Structure 1
Amino acid sequence: MSNLLKYLNFISGWVHQYRADCHTLMNQGLNRNAIYEKVKDLPFRLQTEVYELYQWRNGGKNSFIPHPDGWDLASFPSLEESVESAKDWDGSFNLS
Structure 2
Amino acid sequence: MTDPRDVEQLREVIKHSDAQILRQSMRISNQRAQLAERDALLKEVLIKTDKWMLPDLYERIRLSFKPASAGPEPAPRKRTSHHSPTWMTLSKRPAAPG
- After TM superposition, the score normalised by the length of structure 1 is 0.29
Larger radius of gyration: 2
Tell me which protein shows more strand as a share of its residues: 1
Tell me which protein shows more helix as a share of its residues: 2
Q: Which structure is richer in relative contact order (CA contacts within 8 A, separation 6 or more)?
A: 2
- After TM superposition, the score normalised by the length of structure 2 is 0.29
